Amino acid sequence: MPAKDGEQAEPGDLELDEDRVDAAVLAVLLLTAHQQGKGEPWRVWKGVDWEATDRLHEKGYIGDPVSKAKSVVLTEAGFARRRALLRQLCGPADGGDD
């Protein structure tokens, strides 16, 4: 549903290119790629790379990722960047977004 006048659109309100979303997710997954042994299949963690979350915290985009919680708090700065990043990384190739 499009945002009403004066409201910020949520990520689900953007038209996203699923192939670009899949490519971005694969790239993030590949940050944790590892093999159990030579010749074994490559495996990736389903979570996000911890060093990356530490850097995002240092930049002020997320709260402290060191906790038992399975989620992190998105700061106002991180929240403010969400729409532009989604459009840039995962939006339609033709530049449209709504």
The whole-number pLDDT of residue 64 equals: 95
Mean pLDDT score of the chain: 84
Evaluate if residue 97 carries a pLDDT over 50. no
Q: In this structure, how many other beta carbons lie within 10 angstroms of the beta carbon of residue 32?
A: 16
Residue with tokens 């670009």: 20
Residue 14 pLDDT grade (very low, low, confident, very high; cuts 50, 70, 90): confident
What are the residue ranges spanned by the domains of the chain?
13-90
Residue 3 pLDDT grade (very low, low, confident, very high; cuts 50, 70, 90): very low
Full-model pTM: 0.69
